[in-house]
Amino acid sequence: MASLSRALFLLSLLAFTATISSAHNITAILSAFPEYSQYNSFLTQTRLADEINTRQTITILVLNNAAISALAAKHPLSVVKNAISLHILLDYYDPTKLHQISKGSTLSTTLYQTTGHAPGNLGFVNITDLQGGKVGFGSAAPGSKLDSSYTKSVKQIPYNISILEINAPIIAPGILTAPAPSASDVNITALLEKAGAKTFASLIISSGVIKTYQSAAEKGLTIFAPNDEAFKAKGVPDLSKLTNAEVVSILQFHAVAGYTPIGTLKTSKSPISTLATNGAGKFDLTTTTAGDQVTLHTGVDSSRVADTVLDATPLAIFTIDNVLLPLELFGKSPSPAPGLEPSAAPSPAPVLAPTPSTVEAPSPLAPSPPAPPSETPEGAPSEAPSAESENSTSTNGVSHVASPALMMTVLVTVCATVISSVVLS
C-alpha cells in the first residue's frame, strides 16, 4: 500500500510539473482563426506577442478584422500598441468566470498598466456582468462607459490562456490622442541624461556614434545605455587608452538594429547581432531570463537590464548596470599549449629490465576492445524537439515551445523509472 501511495504521489507531482511547464504561442493559436488575422498581425508588429508568450496567466480580448481596422486606420503603430495592450488582461477569465464576478463588477490589470504610460487607473479595465447574460467592458477611468461587450469564446487553455472576442475596442481617455513623435524626433541624448546615463550620452556625442543611432532609429533601434555608476566600476577599461575605432565599436555594441522591447528580450534564444557586428567579428549578445529580469551576456561580462527609458515603436531604450565589453576586444586569448624546443628535447630514457608490474601489464600490441556505439550522432542537435513537442494535443493551432517539451520528456522518463522501481519493490 505504501508503494502504491508513493507511486500516486509521483504521478501527481508529474502532472503538476507538466502544468507549470506548459507554454503558449498566441500567434500560432490565432492563425487558426482568419477573422482575427489583422489583430494577430499587429501583435507581431508591435512585439506584443512576445510579451504575451512570457505570461503564464493571461486573457486576450480579440477584435475581428473589421473592428481592429477601424481602430488602427488613423493611428501610428506606437498608439495602436498602447490600445491593444489595454485588451490584454493579466488574469484568467473564461465564460464561466465572467458570469461569476463577485458583486457583478471588477477591475482587471492590463498589459498597458505595466508600460508606465498609464497614469492613475487608465491601465485597468472594468468588467461588469450585466442583466440578460451580457458582460460589458470599459475603461476603469471615472465616468467611462461600458462600450464593449463579450461576444463569444475563442479558445481556453485552463488556467493558462483565454481568448475572448469582444464587439468593440476598449478606449481609455487620451490613449488615442497621446503624442506619438517619429523616431527621428526623439532626443536620444536628452532621454539618456534624464535617465542617469550622462556619461554614455556624452560618449556617443563625442565619438559621432549618435549619428549612427539616429540614422538607424527610423527602421528600428534598441539601445542599452550603462548608467553613470557603471563607468566607475572596477574592471571598466580606461577609454582614453583605446583607439577611436575601439571606442566606436564598444558604443555600437550597446545598440541593436531593430525594435526589441523587453518581452522580445525575454523570449530571445539566439545570439543578438549589434550595430558593431561586421565581417571581422560577431559582436553578439545573448540573454537569459529569471522571472521578469533579463540579463545580457557578452562572453566577457554580463549586465542586468535595469529600467525602460523609452518603449515607443520602433525605438526602445534601456538602462543597464554594467558596461558591456565585447569578446572581440576584451576576450582573453587562449594560452598556447606548452611546446618543447628542439634544443631542450630530453634524451630518450634507457630501456629498463622488466619488473613484475611491467611483466603483468597488458601488451601494447594487444588490441583494445571496440568503443561502444554512440547513442547520439555527433552532429545531431542536442535540443531537437521530440515527437511529443511537435504534435501538440491541444486544438485550434496551439503550439508549445520546444524547451518545455524537452524538459517534460526528461521528467516523464525519470519519473516513470522511479515509479516502476517503487511498484516492483
- Asked if the model's pLDDT at residue 193 lies above 50, the reply is yes
- Give residue-wise pLDDT tens across range 259-311: 999 989 998 889 999 999 987 789 999 999 998 899 999 999 999 999 999 98
Task: Tell me whether residue 215 is exposed, middle or buried, using C-beta atoms within 10 angstroms of its C-beta: 0 to 12, 13 to 18, 19 or more.
Answer: exposed
Instruction: State residue 341's pLDDT score.
Output: 39
Helix (H) or strand (E) holding 153: strand 148-157
Region 178-195: mean pLDDT is 82
- Give residue-wise pLDDT tens across range 128-158: 998 778 999 999 999 899 999 999 999 999 9
Start-to-end C-alpha separation, the chain: 11
Instruction: State residue 313's pLDDT score.
Output: 86
Region 10-19: mean pLDDT is 43
- Output the pTM of the full model: 0.65
User: Please, how many CA atoms are within 13 Å of residue 28, restricted to the half-sphere of its CB?
Assistant: 15
> How sure is the predictor about 417, in pLDDT bands with cuts at 50, 70 and 90?
low
How many residues are present in the chain?
425
Extract the runs of DSSP E, i.e. beta strands, from 254-408: 255-257, 272-273, 284-290, 293-297, 302-312, 315-320
Instruction: State residue 114's pLDDT score.
Output: 87
Instruction: State residue 180's pLDDT score.
Output: 59
Instruction: State residue 6's pLDDT score.
Output: 53
Helix (H) or strand (E) holding 138: strand 135-139
User: Could you give the CA distance from residue 309 to residue 354 in angstroms, rounded to a whole number?
Assistant: 77
Instruction: State residue 179's pLDDT score.
Output: 62
- Asked if the model's pLDDT at residue 411 lies above 60, the reply is no
Instruction: State residue 181's pLDDT score.
Output: 60
- Asked if the model's pLDDT at residue 240 lies above 70, the reply is yes
Instruction: State residue 413's pLDDT score.
Output: 52
Region 183-187: mean pLDDT is 79
> How sure is the predictor about 118, in pLDDT bands with cuts at 50, 70 and 90?
confident
- Give residue-wise pLDDT tens across range 37-89: 999 999 999 999 999 999 999 999 999 999 999 988 888 888 999 999 999 99
Helices first, then strands: H and E counts in the chain = 16, 14
> How sure is the predictor about 312, in pLDDT bands with cuts at 50, 70 and 90?
confident
What is 63-109 written as a DSSP string?
--HHHHHHHHTTS-HHHHHHHHHTTEESS---HHHHTT-GGGEEEEE
- Give residue-wise pLDDT tens across range 341-352: 334 444 444 444
Cα-based angle 328, 331, 335 (whole degrees, multiple of 5): 125
Helix (H) or strand (E) holding 162: strand 161-166
Average pLDDT in the chain = 79
- Asked if the model's pLDDT at residue 12 lies above 70, the reply is no
User: Could you give the CA distance from residue 230 to residue 258 in angstroms, rounded to a whole number?
Assistant: 25
Instruction: State residue 280's pLDDT score.
Output: 75
- Asked if the model's pLDDT at residue 385 lies above 70, the reply is no
- Asked if the model's pLDDT at residue 11 lies above 50, the reply is no
> How sure is the predictor about 182, in pLDDT bands with cuts at 50, 70 and 90?
low
**Range picked from 189-193, 343-347, 353-357 for highest mean pLDDT:** 189-193
